[in-house]
Structure 1
Amino acid sequence: MSKVNTVLGTIPAEELGFVAIHEHIGYGMPGSELDTKWWKTPEQRYEETVPKLRQFHEYGGGTFVDATGICNGRDVDYYKSLSAKTGVHIVACTGFVGGDTALPHFARATVDYLSRQFIHEITVGIGGTGAKAGIIKVGVSRGGRMTELDKRIYRAAARAAAATGVPILTHLAIDPEPAVAIFNEEGLPLDRVLFGHVDDGVNAPITPDTWIVQQGGRLGFDTFGYETELTDPPFWARPRKDRMDHFLRFVQGGQVDRVLASADANCSPLGWPGVKGHTVNYIFEVLIPDLRNNGVDEETITRIFVDNPADFLSIRN
């Protein structure tokens, strides 16, 4: 039976239910938690986060994948409490959002050291929490090209994924050629990699999404809700119709098994505000109705949000 690591234990993949594959409980850049602008008491964080997760559960959401890496506000004991309180499975990650978010201790580390760190968090647990990571996060640093540190992290992630059977989720899908080369060199099948943010307004035009699929990778359309139609859109916003049309090219073009979708929302901002009012529940409140209005049937919606994530997140070893 296929299994997945959640913060409250390893469960059968069939129990994941509806999955939001790329979200954040509370994401921030290293050090932001020390800035009084973003500091919050546990009570304040709960007050912001619990209603969103409860609503997600009431809508039919089963699993929330937290894509917050090491050094970016990951708080696994907090995730465990939230999961127990709301009934939502939470999958935590090991790894880094990008090399530029790795604090010096990790930035100076070798591939072997980083790989052992990731493997420990997947097989033993994160810190003293007892909770095991269910996914590995990697990313392209600011600037749009993979740095040497990024490449070390990607190689360490590939080795950890091959050793443990958990998948990899990337931050951005730009400059994927070095990443694909590393994964191939390390013997990691590319269907174990979800190339994220293929749909964001800044990088979509320079992301070779068709090429990624041809290599065997998966595509994460995971910035739904960040739209230019907003009153104060973020710099990565995109017209709502453009993003939907982009998504439908794959969904209706015979490649629905290669795509996953999410909203990349931040439950309780920590150094990164996102967009006020944007939550994981955009998926139920706007995205799924939009898909139906564009002729996407219920079976296909289930494949995108239930079947594909269960297959991707399942530990393979």
Structure 2
Amino acid sequence: MNKIPVVGGGEISPSDMGLTLFHEHLRLTTEVVRWNWPHLYNESEEFRRAVDAVNAVKRFGVKTIVDLTVAGIGRDVRFDERVARATGVNIIMGTGFYTYTELPFYFRNRGIDSLVDVFMHDITIGIQGTNTRAVFVKAVIDSPGLTRDVEMAIRAVARTHVKTGAPIITHSFVGNRSSLELIRIFKEEGVDLSRAVIGHVGDTDDVSFIEQVLREGAFVGLDRFGLDLYLPLEKRVRTTIELIRRGWVDQILLSHDYCPVIDWYPTETVRNMVPDWSMTLIFEKVIPRLRDEGVTQEQVDKILMDNPRRLFSGRS
């Protein structure tokens, strides 16, 4: 069975992933601000908050966390390595470029192959000069839709997947149904959609739209529990229950998209905007509600253990 690289340069078997949160962040920061004005940041406090968040889910039995922080939003493999050592939790990292509109001039002026090359380097050699290798590729599309540069990045992700077999995990925006643009491009590029996650479709309770994605064979990310500004918790739970009832349990993944550190807003603003957002919400509130509505422990285990294992191992 294929081994899965984890931060620090080690590897685990897919069967050792255990209880997995497939879409979280340990730290999300604005690279250009951090690079130029480091005095605005408190590294030791950020590390404490990340360790506290990981230790909190460890107490619920989580063994593996997939960090979706890639280039453009502050990916830092050495920070993740420190958190992994401090907590003993497996942390998986990926590659990709996070943008809603434009790519840096470096890639825009060199073309799509320059992106594929750096993604391939992260997967085959290591991230940021370390021996921690990327396990997945991330594609991003949001409210501005399919700009020229966003399409270039998405196609680079798809071509990297085709070359390496690495799974794809995506960020999409349900307001403009950009999930369908991702699928269209992936199909044009020959992506195996059974190895792709269409992320953030849980931001809508339109089950018919989510099923449109599911029928393409991809996993769907119901992955923003606690981000009530996009969809309240109760609607997210009801949507999850309905999808399970309709027989889609094999293609559902759950997570929070939680960031113990995010500099996009002041810390207090984040707390006021999304007071229930945490990395433990699924275990504290969601799973109990699912069980009350007749979802079995076997189905819960399939979503949180079996489905992530299948995504990263490529095996049913």
Query: What is the Cα deviation at residue 153 of structure 1?
Result: 1.0
Number of aligned positions between the proteins: 305
CA drift of 1:28 comes to 2.9
Relative to structure 1, the CA distance from residue 265 to residue 37 in structure 2 (aligned partners, 3 Å threshold; closer, same or farther) is farther
Between the aligned partners of 1:308 and 1:206, the Cα distance in structure 2 is 20
When structure 1 is superposed on structure 2, of 33-42 and 59-68 the one drifting more is: 33-42
Q: Is the counterpart of residue 48 in structure 1 residue 83 in structure 2?
A: no
Q: How has the CA–CA distance of structure 1 residues 300 and 38 changed in structure 2, closer, same or farther, with 3 Å as cutoff?
A: farther
Distance 2:146 2:281 in 1: 31
Partner of 1:10: 11
Task: Tell me the residue number matched to 1:183.
Answer: 186
Deviation for aligned residue 1:107:
4.2
Give the Cα separation in 1 of the matches to 2:26 and 2:208.
27
- In the other structure, the counterpart of 1:248 is 241
Structure with the higher fraction of residues in helix conformation: 2
Q: Which residue of structure 1 aligns with residue 218 of structure 2? A: 217
* Shift, 1:37, TM fit: 10
Contact persistence 1:33–1:270 (CA under 8 A): no
Q: Deviations over 1:274-293 (max 9, x none)?
A: 43562211121122112112
Contact 1:30 1:101 (C-alpha < 8 Å) held by counterparts: no
Q: What percentage of residue pairs aligned between the two structures are identical?
A: 30
Q: Distance in 2 between matches of 1:48 and 1:130?
A: 25
**Structure 2 counterpart of 1:239, which letter?**
P
Cα distance in structure 1, aligned partners of 2:125 and 2:257: 28
Q: Which moved more, 1:174-183 or 1:189-198?
A: 174-183
Gap runs ≥5 in structure 1: 228-233
2:147 & 2:20 partners in 1: Cα distance?
31
1:38 to partner: Cα distance: 9.0
Q: Which consecutive unaligned segments of at least 5 residues does structure 2 have?
A: none
Amino acid paired to 2:198: F
Q: Are residue 270 (structure 1) and residue 271 (structure 2) matched?
A: no
Give the corresponding residue for 2:141.
140
2:208 & 2:75 partners in 1: Cα distance? 28
**Contact 1:213/1:219 (<8 A) preserved:** yes
Distance 1:103 1:28 in 2: 17
User: Residues 143-222 of structure 1: matches in 2 within 5 Å?
Assistant: 143=144, 145-172=145-172, 174-200=177-203, 208-222=209-223
Q: Report the residue type matching 2:245 in the other structure.
A: Q
Does the 8 Å contact 1:71/1:103 carry over to 2? no
Tell me the residue number matched to 1:279.
Answer: 278
Write the distance in 2 (CA, Å) between the matches of 1:38 and 1:100: 28
Give, in whole Å, the separation in 2 of the partners of 1:205 and 1:296.
Answer: 20
Runs of 4+ displaced beyond 4 Å: 34-38, 204-207
- 1:122 maps onto 2:115 in alignment: no
Taking a change above 3 Å as real, the CA distance of residues 127 and 268 of structure 1, as seen in their structure-2 partners, is same
Q: Which deviates more from structure 2 when the two are superposed, residues 297-306 or residues 52-61?
A: 52-61
Provide TM-score, normalisation by structure 1.
Answer: 0.88
